[in-house]
């Protein structure tokens, strides 16, 4: 009966397969994993397996515990549908959500996932050209959204086109977020909760162990695994490079718009945990385990609402501890365990327009207002504003402000790249300069614009990348380079010039645009200002 129901549910999806007519789905081959058999759908030559459980449900006694292996199953498990994303706090990213931001929700559905989220969220998705004995490069995508939002099931992350284009296996992952993944309870409830402050990243390690042990049955090579992520996903990749439990589980790393240089402080994290427990009225372990997850989220929402939700405000994230993450990822140089890991790293030229578009001052900022705002960018804020005014005299105050706001973000990209390059590992840096024409072109090259391009998902992402041929030209360039890096450790494309290695003494950066080229140290002024302030 269970098998019949699974087949019936697949038939209701109405997906057209290559061997069937419209509305006639084609089932994928059945694949054996170490926990049981799975079956998904074959779509246009790619086998898609969605919602595979890689760990036990982190509920009940497993709440806030390290991930555990799932129980084995006897029937063929349905892998036609996505698994639930982690329960999250869906606070808006700005004071006013625009119509355009709601349209983007079709690609990055933060505003919609509250309808389907669950504390039981440890699932992954696999796209593969063949469940044969091929030894294809494996590209594991770790989603963005900081440590607070997102899932591996966002439409922008669909891996079918990338798998087809490069003959690679693509994996995307869900993991625990916010308080469920990063609440430091050990100082409060004892050693039983020693792993609670890094449980979400431990989930990622568990998923990579699943890849190591199972991906060969999906046509992938467990000895050629690239981990990659954007924004918070890039920070998670950075942290995994310094996580002893992840050593040897991946061989290359791609960090997009999210270099993770430092991690959280265990003491501060414990203080935040105490405030949350007080807010929720929880005093004992028994109450903690019995609490409804919605009650925990409501308490977190109230607490973070009082503490602030801006960049730099207290939030739940990984912490440096004595075991799982014994050091800051890159603050004191590159972690020794990753000295042999090639890295592809970069950012988009106008990251912050995405975060400030909904603010009333965007597009209306005056020079006087910018001067008044500059100290809010940090101690170096006025110097950064002066630097960008000199460098970009044609920029309006709005775009001077967004560049100054993101300077520290870009600085961390150089800090990580410098540290990794000094180990002798190959490092390649990019800057996405191509600008999207949507929403009147005011976003320019914003945060997340790289995602539909490197995933080669232009057609389903027209709301973000716009119409015409230009987006596909950029997608051809970037997806080829990302695939090349995953396959060989060197990014390349027929549409790119030779891409030199990044070195701290020259800082050569590939500028990705319709006419790509190599630029030397493109953020030198801001980088030197922030370096002087740090020293």
Active-site residue numbers?
231, 351, 447
Is residue 224 within 8 Å of 278, Cβ to Cβ?
no
Bridge partners of 225, per DSSP, are 138
- Residues in the chain, overall count: 535
484 by DSSP, 3-state: which?
helix
Distance of CA 104 to the CA centre of its chain: 17
Burial of residue 283 (CB within 10 Å: 0-12, 13-18, 19+) is exposed
Is residue 486 within 8 Å of 252, Cβ to Cβ?
yes
Choose among 299, 260, 258, 293: nearest CA to 277: 299
**DSSP states along 416-444:** HHHHHHTTT--EEEEEE-----SGGGTT-
Bridge partners of 220, per DSSP, are 136
Residue reference for tokens 């995508």:
141
Is residue 123 within 8 Å of 81, Cβ to Cβ?
no
Is residue 386 within 8 Å of 353, Cβ to Cβ?
no
Is residue 77 within 8 Å of 141, Cβ to Cβ?
no
The span from the CA of 285 to the CA of 266, in Å, is: 20
The span from the CA of 23 to the CA of 164, in Å, is: 22
Structure tokens at 145: 């959204």
Structure tokens at 90: 């869906």
Is residue 486 within 8 Å of 341, Cβ to Cβ?
no
Is residue 399 within 8 Å of 350, Cβ to Cβ?
yes
Structure tokens at 233: 């996903």
Residues 6+ apart with CB under 8 A from 200: 147, 175, 176, 177, 180, 181, 182, 318
| Phi, psi (degrees; rounded to nearest 5) at 78 | -70, 120
Residue reference for tokens 């027209």:
462
Is residue 523 within 8 Å of 408, Cβ to Cβ?
no
The span from the CA of 332 to the CA of 329, in Å, is: 8
For 210, half-sphere exposure in the C-beta direction (CA atoms, 13 angstrom radius) is 29
Residues 6+ apart with CB under 8 A from 3: 75, 76
């Amino acid at each position: 009966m269970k098998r019949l129901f699974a087949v019936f549910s697949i038939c209701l999806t109405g997906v057209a397969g290559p061997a069937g007519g419209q509305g006639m789905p084609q089932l994928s081959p059945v694949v054996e994993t170490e926990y049981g058999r799975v079956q998904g759908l074959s779509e246009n030559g790619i086998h898609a397996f969605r919602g595979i459980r890689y760990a036990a449900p982190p509920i009940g006694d497993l709440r806030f515990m390290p991930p555990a292996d799932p129980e084995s199953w006897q029937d063929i498990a349905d892998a036609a549908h996505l698994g639930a994303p982690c329960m999250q706090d869906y606070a808006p990213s700005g004071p006013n959500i625009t119509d355009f931001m709601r349209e983007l929700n079709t690609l990055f559905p933060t505003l919609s996932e509250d309808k389907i989220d669950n504390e039981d969220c440890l699932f992954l998705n696999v796209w593969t050209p063949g469940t044969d004995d091929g030894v294809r490069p494996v590209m594991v995508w770790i989603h963005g959204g900081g440590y607070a939002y997102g899932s591996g099931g966002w439409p922008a992350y669909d891996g079918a086109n990338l798998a087809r284009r490069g003959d690679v296996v693509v994996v995307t992952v869900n993991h625990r977020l916010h308080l469920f993944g990063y609440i430091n309870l050990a100082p409060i409830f004892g050693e039983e909760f020693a792993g609670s402050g890094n449980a979400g990243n431990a989930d990622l390690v568990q998923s990579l162990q699943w890849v190591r042990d199972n991906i060969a049955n999906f046509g992938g090579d467990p000895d050629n695994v690239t981990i990659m992520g954007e924004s918070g996903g890039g920070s998670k990749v950075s942290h995994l490079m310094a996580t002893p439990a992840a050593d040897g589980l991946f061989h290359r790393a791609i960090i997009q718009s999210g270099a993770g240089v430092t991690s959280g402080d265990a003491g501060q994290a414990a203080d935040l945990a105490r405030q949350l427990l007080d807010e929720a009225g929880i005093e004992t372990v028994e109450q903690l385990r019995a609490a409804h997850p919605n009650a925990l989220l409501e308490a977190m929402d109230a607490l973070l609402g009082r503490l602030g939700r801006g960049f730099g405000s207290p939030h739940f994230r990984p912490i440096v501890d004595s075991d799982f993450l014994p050091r800051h990822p890159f603050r004191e140089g590159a972690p020794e365990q990753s000295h042999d890991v090639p890295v592809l790293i970069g950012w988009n030229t106008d990251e912050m327009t995405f975060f400030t578009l909904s603010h009333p001052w965007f597009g209306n900022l005056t020079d006087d207002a910018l001067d008044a705002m500059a100290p809010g960018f940090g101690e170096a804020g006025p110097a950064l504003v002066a630097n960008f005014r000199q460098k970009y005299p044609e920029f309006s105050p709005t775009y001077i402000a967004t560049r100054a706001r993101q300077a520290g973000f870009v600085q961390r990209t150089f800090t990580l790249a410098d540290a990794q390059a000094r180990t002798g590992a190959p490092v390649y840096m990019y800057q996405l300069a191509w600008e999207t024409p949507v929403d009147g072109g005011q976003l320019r090259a914003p945060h997340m614009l790289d995602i539909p391009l490197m995933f080669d998902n232009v057609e389903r992402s027209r709301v973000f990348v716009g119409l015409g041929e230009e987006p596909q030209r950029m997608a051809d360039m970037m997806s080829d380079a990302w695939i090349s890096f995953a396959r060989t450790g060197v990014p390349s494309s027929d549409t790119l010039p030779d891409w030199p290695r990044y070195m701290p003494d020259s800082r050569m950066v590939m500028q990705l645009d319709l006419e790509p080229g190599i630029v030397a140290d493109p953020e030198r002024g801001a980088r030197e200002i922030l370096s002087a302030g740090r020293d």
